[in-house]
Each structure stands twice: as structure tokens, then as C-alpha cells.
Amino acid sequence: MKFQFGIKEFLGILGTAVALTFSASSFAAVDADAAKQLARENSCFKCHGTEKPKDGPAFTKVAETYRGNPNAEAKLIHHLTSGEMAKFPDGHQEAHKNIKDKASPEEIKNLVDWILSL
């Protein structure tokens, strides 16, 4: 049995293989234990639950809000490293805790990727 592929078929197969490789590696790259440890060390769980909201939204709600947004990672990294204002359920605002000097960029990215994976 002999298979013949045209250029369109070859490019389609190649594109699918590349997409699967990158999507699998991005999920495999998340170190959930390290992300949770960083969240504990920086008191993130004081205001955010994984599945239940506290003063801040649950991390699962954050993931749901940003799902499909190509800028999600950058927006959340900025939120964690800029000290921008966070809105609370009672309407008041406070500067969000800035973890820029408390973790490496790779650790912060891992935390954000973990949140977005929920």
C-alpha cells in the first residue's frame, strides 16, 4: 500500500503536529505545587480561594474570565507585579499585593499559568 500526500495534506499534518506539541508542552510546564507554594508564601489564599471566592475572586473564576483571551497571561502578570488597585466586594479599593520582588519572573509566570489552567 502506497501513500501519497500533496503539499496541502503535508502542511495540514505538520501544522496539527506543531499545534499539539506546543499545547501539550504549555500544560506540562505548569508546576502546580510550586505555584501553590508561591501563593501561600505571598498570602494569596487570604483573599482568593481556589474554587470559592473570598474578598477576591476564586482562581477558577479568574481562569473562566480570561479563558480564550490571548492577553490573559500578560494581564495577570501585570496585576501581580504592579500593585494596581483591586476592587473588593464592599466597593472599596486597595493596592493589590505586589510580588515582583518576592519571586522570579519564571515563578510568577508559573503561578499565573497554574491559575489559568484551573
Which residues constitute the domain of residue 89?
Answer: 31-117
Tell me if residue 107 falls in helix, strand or coil: helix
pTM of the shown model: 0.75
What total number of domains does the chain contain?
A: 1
| pLDDT grade for 50, boundaries at 50, 70 and 90 | very high
Over residues 61-113, the pLDDT tens digits come to 999 999 999 999 999 999 999 999 998 889 999 999 999 999 999 999 999 99
Residue 53 lies in a domain: yes
Residue 99 lies in a domain: yes
Residue 110 lies in a domain: yes
pLDDT surpasses 90 at 27: no
Alpha-carbon distance values, 62 to 6, 9, 101, 103 (Å): 44, 39, 23, 21
The pLDDT of residue 89? 86
Over residues 14-25, the pLDDT tens digits come to 445 444 444 444
Residue 91 lies in a domain: yes
Closest of 85, 75, 77, 69 to residue 105, by C-alpha: 77
Do the beta carbons of residue 63 and residue 116 sit within 8 Å? Answer: yes
The pLDDT of residue 95? 94
DSSP character for 48? Answer: B
Residue percentage of the chain with pLDDT more than 70: 76
Residue 74 lies in a domain: yes
CA distance 91 to 57: 14
pLDDT surpasses 70 at 36: yes
Q: Which CATH number do you get for residue 37? A: 1.10.760.10
Residue 59 lies in a domain: yes
The pLDDT of residue 13? 57
